[in-house]
Chains A and B, each alone.
Chain A
Amino acid sequence: MSFNSIMIAGLTSIAFTVSAHAAQPPHAMPGELEVDPYEVSNANAGAEPITDPAVLAAFNGEAGIARIVDGLIAGIQADERIEGVFRASDWPRLRRTLIEQFCYILGGPCDYTGRSMASVHVDHGVTTAEFNALVENLQDAMDAEGVPFAMQNRFLARLAPMHGDVVTR
């Protein structure tokens, strides 16, 4: 077992043990900011997983997903249309939970341990234009990873309905 898996298992078991006694924030990994407790569930990912294994393969599996998320984050930080939305983000947590979310939705062997799309985006005042700007950056990252256009669109089709929870302005 990798060090990360041991750590996750350990932290999870600690979280379950103490939850009855104290408000221990779940799934705030070392190097990440504290979060208020919330109910962890794959339903928070906001979409059902794709079951066709060809899609995950087209994304080059977990390694490809990690590279795409890194490319997406770099794109966001350089995009003056939306960098202000993300400027005060907990970047390590955002990277980790995006990878989990994409992996889960693409049918990979991951669970999503982050918060729901609605709760994460409340108060950000995201517009449709800003949502679309993020999708553009994601498309650029998928292009860089060599994901075929049709496969990109099958993934985007799972993300598009999140618009209702993400866009509040």
Chain B
Amino acid sequence: MISIRRLLRFALLALGLAACPGLAGAAELRVSVTNSAGEPVPNAVVSLPGELTADFIPAEPLEMAQVDVQFDPFVLVVPRGAEVLFPNRDRVRHHVYSFARGNQFELELYGREQERSVAFSAAGAVPLGCNIHDQMIAFIRVVDTPFAVRTDGDGVAVLTGVPTGMTTLTVWHPYGNAENNLVTLDFDPAVDPAPQVTLDILGQH
């Protein structure tokens, strides 16, 4: 026989859950990515499966700029099918290209301007280079989900409005020392809203 006290406690818990929008059906997830030495890993792309709709608005402008003879940013998250602007904000010309399967492109040598853009139709990693500046390197991560964010300088990425229930978290880094440069974690965001993931990184950036 269930005691009144337990019944009351259960009712209060249910009310409490309903009052917290973060836990009832949609959650905010705070993912920390570190390497095996415990150091934070910036520029990792953290993602959960989800449905990309046509009206999805990315968190930051879809731009891969060239400035000071380098790309900016180093890693850019792009929803599949979206167009990315490649503004040359530099004092010199650049010739941008990628050999990525399904996303191959070339922007032949151009000076300072804001007009060039490329659409990315395949999910996956797109390594970028410049034909005349060997030191220029960056990556576009094309994703099939609205739930994808790059980790900041502290190795932290916040995903909002994620559905609760068992799911698979993917953590990818261009130099991730794992198969396909990524690791996965099966978990429930409602149970663990702040998962910590370890991914070793080869080399420095």
Q: Please pick, from B69, B93, B132, B133, the residue contacting A84 in the complex, using a CB distance under 8 A.
A: B93
Contact A169 B132 (CB under 8 A): yes
Q: Mark B108-123, 1 if CB is under 8 A from A, else 0.
A: 0111110000000000
On chain A, the number of residues with a Cβ less than 8 Å from chain B's Cβ atoms is 11
Interface residues of B in 85-134 (CB under 8 A from A): 90-93, 95, 109-113, 132-133
Contact B109 A84 (CB under 8 A): yes
Interface residues of B in 25-75 (CB under 8 A from A): 69
- In the complex, whether A154 has a CB less than 8 A from a CB of chain B is no
A contact residues around B133 at 8 Å (CB): 123, 125
User: Closest residue of chain A to B135, judged by CB?
Assistant: A123
Give how many A-B residue pairs fall within 8 Å (CB-CB).
31
B contact residues around A83 at 8 Å (CB): 111
A contact residues around B110 at 8 Å (CB): 84
B contact residues around A88 at 8 Å (CB): 90-92, 111-112
On chain B, the number of residues with a Cβ less than 8 Å from chain A's Cβ atoms is 13
Q: Please pick, from A87, A123, A124, A169, the residue contacting B112 in the complex, using a CB distance under 8 A.
A: A87
B contact residues around A85 at 8 Å (CB): 92-93, 111
B contact residues around A87 at 8 Å (CB): 111-113
Interface of A is mostly: loop
User: Closest residue of chain A to B90, judged by CB?
Assistant: A88
Contact A125 B109 (CB under 8 A): yes
Bound state CA distance, A14 and B95, in angstroms? 42
B10 to chain A, nearest CB (A): 67
A contact residues around B109 at 8 Å (CB): 84, 125
Interface residues of A in 82-99 (CB under 8 A from B): 83-89
A contact residues around B92 at 8 Å (CB): 85, 88, 123-125
Q: Mark B152-195, 1 if CB is under 8 A from A, else 0.
A: 00000000000000000000000000000000000000000000
Bound state CA distance, A144 and B71, in angstroms? 42
A contact residues around B91 at 8 Å (CB): 88-89, 123
A contact residues around B93 at 8 Å (CB): 84-85, 124-125
B86 to chain A, nearest CB (A): 15
Bound state CA distance, A169 and B69, in angstroms? 16
Q: Please pick, from A84, A123, A169, the residue contacting B111 in the complex, using a CB distance under 8 A.
A: A84
User: Closest residue of chain A to B132, judged by CB?
Assistant: A125
A contact residues around B95 at 8 Å (CB): 125
A86 to chain B, nearest CB (A): 8
Bound state CA distance, A8 and B132, in angstroms? 38
Bound state CA distance, A85 and B112, in angstroms? 9
A contact residues around B69 at 8 Å (CB): 123
Bound state CA distance, A86 and B111, in angstroms? 8
Bound state CA distance, A88 and B111, in angstroms? 7
B147 to chain A, nearest CB (A): 38
Interface residues of A in 36-89 (CB under 8 A from B): 83-89
Q: List 20 A-B contacts (CB under 8 A).
A: A83-B111, A84-B93, A84-B109, A84-B110, A85-B92, A85-B93, A86-B111, A87-B112, A87-B113, A88-B90, A88-B92, A88-B112, A123-B69, A123-B92, A123-B133, A124-B93, A125-B92, A125-B95, A125-B109, A125-B133
Given contacts A84-B93, A88-B90, A125-B132, 6 further A-B contacts (CB under 8 A): A85-B93, A88-B91, A89-B91, A123-B69, A125-B109, A169-B132
